[in-house]
């Protein structure tokens, strides 16, 4: 028995003795009135025990008070690091719980956004003072403490998760009862319109001229999918997904100094043999626009590298360049061809190309668990972007194939913004088949692609054919309209495409055609600097649930 428990029992015993002593002479009378005394004694005893037990329950760690950080002014510039500093200055710790549930953050009420926040401190007084201090720092937002404290066990669990990892994330559980939920995109005349989740892996094409609402639509898809527990991997070049991904508890990688970086080695699978060698050769040939003789040289170099390396120690682009540089040539045309190939490969191993293609950490970004942004805005050339995109897709495919779990329910959505700049344009039939096969395999293993482009004619036809759902925003280009007429069943709809306002679109899918107004996602009003600082410092813990 603990010492504190003993105190309680002693206290009760003392009380009972006192009562008994005072009433000793009237014992018979007491017995007659026993019921009323008994009730009184029991009530007093339980009261004492209750108070004692409340004080006895050991609190693990600090007091944790849930709070709400409501942002009233959508343009409020909240510097999260500043809030953290203020809290820390007052001996508190602040944890932002980014809730993305339907009733939670980024909710449906426009103009107002809220975070869930946990404030950790010694006692409620201290926490209250901290919250007031934070509230007084600027306008447009307010921290309101909840009356209750957080269950100590749950609080402890969250703190442990936060302490263990740089970025903590708790995925959204799927609801097995609603096997095929609808990914709600928007509405038409009050009717909700969306994509059944199981259809996503048919792949989606989003087209429309500039400013027609493509990115807004894709953000809705990403947001809705994450509500269902499906993460997205976004490849963008204009930082347009920063706040969305960040706000969903996701991760951001780019090739800017100081940020978390991603690198991908296109040659990592070369030691596996001829099939992989040919895929790499065909892809590089298409991206670098190689002549047949250069293709042959490349193939020869890749085969040699495959022979002299192992899966544990794969070659990289630098090794490839060195291999080709070392080839001896027997004629002037052959030498020219080799020199030109070297010139084409050099940008891939110099400048920022060296950092991007030398190592390979794409599979450790956590893309299969939380929304992830690969921001390619700082990548020097379109060629490098295409290589990153293609080999990222391939790596993802290989990853899910290894898992050997075929799935119609999507596990991941991959968004390619400006897809025309990311998908390789294969010159020949073999190349086209490579892309078709890649798309089909991604589909089979539960990866849904979202290709975004301003024009249909700029995307390889094979890629267009491999998208089962087409979301069409306003398009005016005659060639695109002509193309659309070839596959839209309801021809009169095509005329409507010319008149769509931003955010309006026509969705063409195997089951039919729908026109709708897309509902935009209310994003976090965070400044670029604020997000940058947090990403670079890695000092915040983002939990989404």
Q: Is the distance from CB of 475 to CB of 208 less than 8 angstroms?
A: yes
Nearer of residues 324 and 518 to ligand ATP, judged by Cβ: 518
User: In this chain, which residue has its C-beta nearest to Mg ion?
Assistant: 215
Tell me, by CB under 5 A, how many residues bind Mg ion. 2
Residues 6+ apart with CB under 8 A from 15: 41, 44, 45, 48
CA–centroid distance for 69 within its chain: 22
Q: Give the interface segment with Mg ion, choosing from 163-171, 214-222, 255-263, 442-450 (CB under 5 A).
A: 214-222
Tell me, by CB under 6 A, how many residues bind ligand ATP. 13
Q: In the structure encoding, which two tokens stand for residue 445, read together?
A: 């293993």
Backbone angles phi and psi of 255, in degrees to 5: -100, 25
Minimum CB distance to Mg ion, residue 215 (Å): 3
Minimum CB distance to Mg ion, residue 137 (Å): 34
Per CB under 5 A, the list member of 215, 294, 392, 508 interacting with Mg ion is: 215
Nearer of residues 212 and 508 to Mg ion, judged by Cβ: 212
Nearer of residues 319 and 523 to ligand ATP, judged by Cβ: 523
Distance CA 113, CA 156 (A): 27
Tokens 């401190």 sit on residue:
121
User: Binding string, 438-457, against ligand ATP, x = CB under 6 A?
Assistant: ----------------x---
Name the DSSP class of 139: S
Per CB under 6 A, the list member of 121, 213, 231, 525 interacting with ligand ATP is: 213
Q: Which does 201 bind (CB under 5 to 8 A by kind): Mg ion, ligand ATP, none?
A: none
**C-alpha angle with apex 343: 341 to 347, nearest 5 degrees?**
115
**Beta-strand pair 113-121/542-544:** unpaired
Find the binding residues for ligand ATP in span 252-271 (CB under 6 A). Answer: none
Nearer of residues 99 and 454 to ligand ATP, judged by Cβ: 454
- In sign, the C-alpha dihedral spanning 85, 89, 93, 96 is negative
For residues 340, 345, 347, 353, the Cα torsion angle rounded to the nearest 10 degrees is: 180
Per CB under 6 A, the list member of 93, 325, 502, 532 interacting with ligand ATP is: 502
Per CB under 6 A, the list member of 106, 131, 516, 518 interacting with ligand ATP is: 518
Q: Give the interface segment with Mg ion, choosing from 71-79, 81-89, 212-220, 489-497 (CB under 5 A).
A: 212-220
Q: Which does 211 bind (CB under 5 to 8 A by kind): ligand ATP, Mg ion, none?
A: ligand ATP
Q: Give the interface segment with ligand ATP, choosing from 15-23, 71-79, 211-219, 351-359 (CB under 6 A).
A: 211-219
Tokens 């007429």 sit on residue:
485
Q: Give the interface segment with ligand ATP, choosing from 213-221, 252-260, 350-358, 522-530 (CB under 6 A).
A: 213-221
Residue of 196, 186, 210, 182 lying closest to 417 (CA atoms): 210
- Using CB under 6 A as the binding rule, whether residue 214 contacts ligand ATP is answered as yes
Q: Which does 454 bind (CB under 5 to 8 A by kind): ligand ATP, Mg ion, none?
A: ligand ATP
Minimum CB distance to Mg ion, residue 336 (Å): 42
Q: Give the interface segment with ligand ATP, choosing from 96-104, 214-222, 284-292, 326-334 (CB under 6 A).
A: 214-222
Distance CA 441, CA 466 (A): 11
Minimum CB distance to ligand ATP, residue 376 (Å): 14
User: Binding string, 28-47, against Mg ion, x = CB under 5 A?
Assistant: --------------------
Task: Spell out the alpha helix ranges (H) of 326-427.
Answer: 332-349, 352-358, 382-403
133 burial via Cβ count (<10 Å: 0-12, 13-18, 19+): middle
441 burial via Cβ count (<10 Å: 0-12, 13-18, 19+): middle
Q: Which does 266 bind (CB under 5 to 8 A by kind): ligand ATP, Mg ion, none?
A: none
Minimum CB distance to Mg ion, residue 205 (Å): 14
130 burial via Cβ count (<10 Å: 0-12, 13-18, 19+): buried
Residues 6+ apart with CB under 8 A from 393: 414, 438, 442, 449
Q: Give the interface segment with Mg ion, choosing from 137-145, 180-188, 209-217, 264-272 (CB under 5 A).
A: 209-217
Task: Spell out the alpha helix ranges (H) of 90-147.
Answer: 124-135
User: In this chain, which residue has its C-beta nearest to ligand ATP?
Assistant: 503
Minimum CB distance to ligand ATP, residue 435 (Å): 23
Nearer of residues 63 and 518 to ligand ATP, judged by Cβ: 518
436 burial via Cβ count (<10 Å: 0-12, 13-18, 19+): middle
- Using CB under 6 A as the binding rule, whether residue 210 contacts ligand ATP is answered as yes
Nearer of residues 521 and 543 to ligand ATP, judged by Cβ: 521
Q: Give the interface segment with ligand ATP, choosing from 61-69, 209-217, 353-361, 381-389 (CB under 6 A).
A: 209-217
- Using CB under 6 A as the binding rule, whether residue 208 contacts ligand ATP is answered as yes
Q: Give the interface segment with ligand ATP, choosing from 90-98, 207-215, 338-346, 375-383 (CB under 6 A).
A: 207-215
Task: Spell out the alpha helix ranges (H) of 165-291.
Answer: 214-227, 242-247, 274-288
For residues 398, 400, 402, 405, the Cα torsion angle rounded to the nearest 10 degrees is: -150
Find the binding residues for ligand ATP in span 454-473 (CB under 6 A). Answer: 454
Q: Is the distance from CB of 463 to CB of 437 less than 8 angstroms?
A: no
Residues 6+ apart with CB under 8 A from 223: 100, 106, 244, 248, 521
Minimum CB distance to ligand ATP, residue 492 (Å): 23
- Using CB under 6 A as the binding rule, whether residue 503 contacts ligand ATP is answered as yes
- The residue ranges that bind Mg ion (CB under 5 A) are 214-215
- The residue ranges that bind ligand ATP (CB under 6 A) are 208, 210-216, 454, 502-503, 518, 520
């Amino acid at each position: 028995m603990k010492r504190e428990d003993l105190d309680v029992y002693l206290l009760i015993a003392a009380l009972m003795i006192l009562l008994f002593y005072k009433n000793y002479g009237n014992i018979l009378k007491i017995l007659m009135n026993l019921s009323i005394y008994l009730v009184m004694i029991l009530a007093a005893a339980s009261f004492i025990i209750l108070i004692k037990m409340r004080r006895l329950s050991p609190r693990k760690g600090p007091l944790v008070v849930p709070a709400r950080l409501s942002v009233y002014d959508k343009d409020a510039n909240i510097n999260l690091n500043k809030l953290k500093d203020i809290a820390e200055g007052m001996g508190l710790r602040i944890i932002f719980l980014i809730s993305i549930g339907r009733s939670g953050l980024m909710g449906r009420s426009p103009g107002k956004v809220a975070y869930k926040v946990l404030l950790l401190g010694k006692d409620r007084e201290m926490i209250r003072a901290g919250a007031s201090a934070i509230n007084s720092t600027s306008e447009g937002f307010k921290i309101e403490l909840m009356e209750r404290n957080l269950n100590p066990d749950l609080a402890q669990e969250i703190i442990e998760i936060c302490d263990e990892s740089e970025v903590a994330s708790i995925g959204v559980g799927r609801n097995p009862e609603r096997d095929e939920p609808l990914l709600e995109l928007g509405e038409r005349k009050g009717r909700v319109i969306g994509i059944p989740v199981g259809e996503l892996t048919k792949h989606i094409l989003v087209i429309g001229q500039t400013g027609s609402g493509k990115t807004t639509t894709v953000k809705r898809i990403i947001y809705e999918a994450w509500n269902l527990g499906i993460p997205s991997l976004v490849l963008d070049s204009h930082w347009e997904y920063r706040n969305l991904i960040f706000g969903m508890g996701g991760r951001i990688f780019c090739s800017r100094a100081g940020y978390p970086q991603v690198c991908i080695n296109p040659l990592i699978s070369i030691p596996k043999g001829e099939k992989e060698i040919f895929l790499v050769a065909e892809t590089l040939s298409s991206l670098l626009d190689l002549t047949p003789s250069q293709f042959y040289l490349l193939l020869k170099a890749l085969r040699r590298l495959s022979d002299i390396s192992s899966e544990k120690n794969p070659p990289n682009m630098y090794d490839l360049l060195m291999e080709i540089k070392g080839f001896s040539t027997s004629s002037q045309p052959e030498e020219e061809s080799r020199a030109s190939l070297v010139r084409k490969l050099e940008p891939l191993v110099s400048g920022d190309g060296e950092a991007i293609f030398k190592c390979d950490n794409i599979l450790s970004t956590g893309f299969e668990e939380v929304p992830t942004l690969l921001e390619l805005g700082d990548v020097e050339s379109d060629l490098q972007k295409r290589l990153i995109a293609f080999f990222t897709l391939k790596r993802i495919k290989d990853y899910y194939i290894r898992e050997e779990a075929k799935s119609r329910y999507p596990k991941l959505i991959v968004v390619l913004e400006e897809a025309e700049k990311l998908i390789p344009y294969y010159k020949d039939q073999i190349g086209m088949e490579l892309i078709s096969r890649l798309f089909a395999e991604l589909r089979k293993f539960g990866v849904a692609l979202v290709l975004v482009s301003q024009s249909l004619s700029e995307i390889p036809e094979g890629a267009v054919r491999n998208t089962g759902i087409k979301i069409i925003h306003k398009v005016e280009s005659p060639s695109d309209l002509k193309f659309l007429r070839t596959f839209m069943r309801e021809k009169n709809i095509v005329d409507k495409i010319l008149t769509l306002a931003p955010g309006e679109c026509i969705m063409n899918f195997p089951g039919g055609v729908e026109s709708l107004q897309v509902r935009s996602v209310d994003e976090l009003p965070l400044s670029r600097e604020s997000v940058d600082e947090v990403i670079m410092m890695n000092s915040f813990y983002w939990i989404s649930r």
